[in-house]
Chains A and B, each alone.
Chain A
Amino acid sequence: MDLRMLGTTFLLALREIRRHVLRSFLTTLGIIIGVAAVVTMVTLGNAATRSVEQSISNLGANLLTVRPGQGFGRGGGSFAPPFGLDDVATVRQQIGGVLHVAPQTSAAVIAVHEAQNWSTTVAGTTNDYFASSSLELESGRLFTEEEESAGKSVCVIGATITTNLFKQLDPLGRSLRLRDISCVVVGVLKKRGQAGFGPDQDDQVVMPIKAVMRRLTGRQDVGSFQVAVDKRFETKNVSAAITALLRERRNVAPGTDDNFNIFDAKQLSDTLAGTTRTMTTLLGAVAAVSLLVGGIGIMNIMLVSVTERTREIGIRLAIGALRREVLLQFLVEAITLSCLGGLIGLLVAFAATMGLAPLMRMSFEFDGSINLIAFGFSAAIGVVFGYFPARRAASMNPIDALRHE
């Protein structure tokens, strides 16, 4: 059996398929739907995973947020002492792999500028906050060292504040009033858009923490602090180091629960991405079942075709076709059918994902490996489900086959 024979057999198979266009199309429909479903599901699922990861990394992928109290939603029966600026300084000094540590203390205020007023949040922090949250300036500057250490009444404002309080005016150098203090705008932040989780970072007035402590909250405690972790370090390990340090500083007895919690965006991202990945696998598996059903459809039609073409098989055997040549002919036909179905399925999947991704607000990305796997699978189905009918054809007795009506 040489290559030329294989090529001729393939051409004969194409001719046979062309002779029964409608039937061939209906036969391959199962494969088309199966391949299209698998590829679409997996591609969209991967896109969903990416978009979850993306929206969490907007929050700051390597960001730890440390708060007093026990975890989310748990008030904690025992009193959890607040953090102080000394805790923040110690973490910055003693923990390895930390890029920025930004303390934060916030207060709800009504910001007023001339006749406009706007209900918003004041965040008291340091310049580290802009770096750790990857907030960028649209215009103006950040705080100076002097402003920070003296707790000067200056502020950097988010885009929402600019729009609502200053309208068309340039806010730089103008002052706005927060409760009974007045504060000069030194910088304006770029618009970021909703991150998906957490507070709207466009709708805040950022001031040096000492200014907020002294003039707005009147307390020396730090509500929470953010720790930006160097990408070369595992947030998990840094988180553990911080936990150990804070337990010691806060005198938490061994065996008792922490009286603070560390929120790790990376961990949440991993968990959510893991969940979407599981969903993707599940949907892909369901779609794969339809591919299997498609294979059975091919077998069914090939069996019908073998019966229908009994005389043809008889003629071929009589003029000297070997059994393995007849087997090959029907096998190649089945494989050609399923591969054609696979190809059409890939095209359908491509069109479907191109069309659906924008609707689902996800970015479309062509995934070569799943396309290859699905196509390989459809070819394999042709082999598996084509073999049985082909063997039936090859095992016919030429005399009986010729007599077949």
Chain B
Amino acid sequence: MTESASTPLIELRGITKVFGTGAAAFQALRGVDLDIHEREFVAVMGASGSGKSTMMNILGCLDTPTSGSYRFRGFNVERLDQDERALLRRRYLGFVFQGFNLLARTTALENVELPLVYRGDTAVKRRERAMAALDQVGLAPWHDHTPGELSGGQQQRVAIARAIVTEPQVLLADEPTGNLDSERSVEIMELLSGLNRDRGMTVLMVTHEPDMAAFASTIVKFRDGQIASREAR
């Protein structure tokens, strides 16, 4: 079964998103159609305000579209309620943010354990799996350091460990290298490519930088709330 022949993992049809009402209404997305297949590494590019962040929030089930349909693994996400979307995020999605968003004054290990807490794993199992995830990003020796004691690149790697500790199907990264220098950025990108290549994780990444987008297998460009181009590499 080839990628193009299989049912897409993510299927967007005619997605629109309007913020505000009346005269102040702002249309962030104007009819987006997009298919993303399993094991794809998609980089989403575009200028600020082009709708790519809104797009990522909808893909991450953090936000709902104003109209259109979003099917994830065949489920109609737009029909799910808040708790159902939370359960979907918990089960299938991992998030990496530009600002790392780690809990301050909390050790790397505890940060990585956090998603497992909500899955109801035992303390022993949480620790074991979190250590394994930290080991994957090469930070096992730093497990008892708090974010304040780690460099930016290390913090982002902790965040990636937190995102992958539940072995999600899709990793959503919103400008993961936005706060890092180029050397650290490359390290992070290599980590993401590795996860995509070796673990079969589908990666969706928003980025400004063409150098970073170059790691992806597909580049989707946004302009004025619509997809301007989609090119496979």
Which residues of A pack against B, CB within 8 Å? 2, 4-5, 8, 12, 19, 311-312, 314-325, 398-399, 402
**B102-151 contacts to A (CB < 8 Å):** 103, 105, 114-115, 117-118, 120, 122-123
Chain A minimum-CB-distance residue to B82: A323
Contact of B114 among A2, A4, A316 (CB under 8 A): A316
B103 and A320 contact, CB distance less than 8 A: no
Most chain B CB atoms below 10 A, which of A5, A317, A322, A325: A322
Complex contact A399–B114 (CB within 8 A): no
Question: Is A311 touching B101 in the complex (CB atoms < 8 A)?
Answer: yes
The answer to whether A319 and B63 have CB atoms under 8 Å apart is: no
A312 and B105 CA atoms in complex are apart in Å by 12
B118 adjacent to A319 (CB under 8 Å): yes
A319 close to B90 (CB less than 8 A): yes
Chain B, 144-168, CB within 8 A of any chain A CB: 162
B163 to A: closest C-beta gap in Å: 8
B101 touches A314 (CB 8 A): yes
One of A5, A12, A311, A320 near B86 (C-beta < 8 A): A320
Select B162's contact among A4, A312, A319, A398, beta carbons within 8 Å: A319
Known: A8-B117, A325-B118, A399-B57. A320 touches B87 (CB 8 A): yes
User: Once the chains bind, are A5 and B120 in contact (CB under 8 Å)?
Assistant: yes
Whether A322 contacts B83 in the complex (CB less than 8 A), given A19-B105, A315-B101, A402-B101, comes out as yes
A5 to B116, CA, bound (A): 11
Contacts of A402 in B (CB 8 A): 97, 101
Task: Please tell me if the beta carbons of B117 and A317 are within 8 angstroms of each other in the complex.
Answer: no
Whole-angstrom CA separation of A314 from B117 in the bound complex: 16
- 30 inter-chain pairs at a CB distance below 8 angstroms, sorted by A residue, are A2-B120, A4-B122, A5-B120, A8-B117, A19-B105, A311-B101, A312-B103, A315-B103, A316-B114, A316-B118, A318-B60, A319-B89, A319-B90, A319-B95, A319-B118, A319-B162, A320-B86, A320-B87, A320-B89, A320-B90, A320-B91, A321-B90, A321-B118, A322-B86, A323-B82, A323-B86, A324-B83, A325-B118, A399-B62, A399-B63
Question: Contacts A2-B120, A402-B101 given: A317-B86 contact, CB under 8 Å?
Answer: yes
A318 touches B62 (CB 8 A): yes
**Interface, chain B (partner A; CB < 8 A):** 57, 60, 62-63, 82-83, 86-91, 93, 95, 97, 101, 103, 105, 114-115, 117-118, 120, 122-123, 162
Q: How far is the CB of A302 from chain B (nearest CB, A)?
A: 18
- What 9 A-B pairs are tightest by C-beta distance, nearest first? A320-B90, A320-B89, A319-B115, A315-B101, A398-B62, A322-B86, A321-B118, A320-B86, A322-B83
**5 other A-B residue contacts (CB within 8 Å) besides A311-B101, A315-B103:** A312-B103, A318-B62, A319-B95, A320-B86, A320-B115
A86 to B209, CA, bound (A): 120
Nearest B residue (CB) for A9: B117
Kindly list chain B residues whose C-beta atoms are within 8 Å of the C-beta of A325: 118
Q: Which residues does chain A contribute within 8 Å of B162, judged by CB atoms?
A: 319
Which single residue of chain B is at the shortest CB-CB distance from A311? B101
Q: Inside 8 A of B95's CB, which chain A residues have their CB?
A: 318-319
- Complex Cα gap A323–B82 (Å): 8
Contact A318 B117 (CB under 8 A): no
CB distance from B106 to the nearest CB of A (A): 8
**Cβ of A129 to closest chain B Cβ, rounded Å:** 76
For B103, the chain A residues whose CB sits under 8 A away are 312, 315
Most buried by A among B86, B97, B103: B86
Contacts of B118 in A (CB 8 A): 316, 319-322, 325
A320 to B85, CA, bound (A): 8
Contacts of B60 in A (CB 8 A): 318
Bound CA–CA A245/B103 (angstroms): 87
Question: In the complex, A388 Cα to B1 Cα: how many Å?
Answer: 53
**Chain A nearest Cβ from B124, distance in angstroms:** 12
For B114, what are the chain A residues with a Cβ–Cβ distance below 8 Å?
Answer: 315-316, 319
| Complex alpha-carbon distance, A322 and B90, angstroms | 9
Q: Which of B57, B62, B120 contacts A4 (CB 8 A)?
A: B120
- In the bound assembly, the distance between CA atoms of A22 and B63 in angstroms comes to 38
A247 to chain B, nearest CB (A): 82
Give the one of A8, A312, A314, A325 with max B CB within 10 A: A8
